[in-house]
């Protein structure tokens, strides 16, 4: 899949579809997508999205603003014909992603494959594709980031080490 990879979370947040990088919108919308991506196929409660975007001081309109962000992301994905969808599921949202569309998924697969070969040939060439996927955490550079809101990030940091 190489550079045509879909959602990129292991670095600056990007979504590439059919070789074109999509405009994901402003910082709030990008934080929402990063959080949904890090928790793909699992319900992400609206309250956690609010915490990720505003940290400790959300406005009274936070819930409505999260809905606006999700609506904007749905429009971007639909207009591009992207295979990912955001569904409303109590108590929040779930990002449905086809297999192979997340760089984190590919990274995990490459790490597992490299670990399987370490005992056989002790060659670092198996780990180079993993390192190539790692572009530094997208969520960490997003406004409103806090370590507790990105449950998936430590998992990939540990695998990288």
Write the CB contacts of 23 (distance below 8 Å, at least 6 apart in sequence).
76
Does 161 map to a domain? no
Query: Can you give the residue range of the structural domain that contains 61?
Result: 2-98+137-150
Question: Is residue 122, in this structure, part of any structural domain at all?
Answer: no
| pTM given for the model | 0.71
Task: Compute the 3-state secondary structure of the chain and give helix, strand, coil in percent, each to the nearest 5.
Answer: 55, 15, 35
Number of domain units in the chain: 1
Is residue 105 domain-resident?
Answer: no
In a domain, 43, yes or no: yes
- Of 49-53, 77-81, 105-109, 128-132, which range is least confident? 128-132
Residues 95 and 84 sit within 8 Å (Cβ to Cβ): yes
Read off the CATH number of the domain in which 17 is found.
Answer: 1.10.10.10
Residue 91 lies in a domain: yes
- What's residue 112's pLDDT? 80
Q: Select the more confidently predicted residue: 127 or 108.
A: 108
Judge whether 103 lies within some domain.
no
């Amino acid at each position: 899949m190489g550079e045509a990879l879909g959602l990129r979370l292991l670095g600056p947040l990007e979504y590439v579809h059919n070789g074109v990088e999509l405009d994901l919108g402003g910082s709030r919308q990008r934080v929402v997508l990063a959080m949904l991506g890090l928790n793909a196929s699992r319900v992400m409660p609206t309250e956690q999205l609010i915490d990720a975007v505003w940290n400790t001081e959300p406005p009274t309109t936070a819930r409505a603003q999260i809905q606006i962000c999700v609506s904007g992301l749905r429009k971007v994905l639909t207009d591009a014909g992207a295979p990912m969808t955001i569904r409303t599921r109590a108590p929040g949202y779930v990002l449905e992603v086809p297999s192979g569309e997340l760089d984190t998924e590919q990274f995990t697969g490459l790490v597992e494959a490299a670990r399987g070969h370490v005992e056989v040939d002790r060659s670092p060439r198996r780990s180079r594709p993993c390192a190539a996927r790692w572009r530094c955490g997208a969520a960490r550079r997003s406004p409103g980031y806090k370590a507790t809101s990105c449950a998936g990030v430590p998992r990939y940091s540990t695998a990288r080490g």
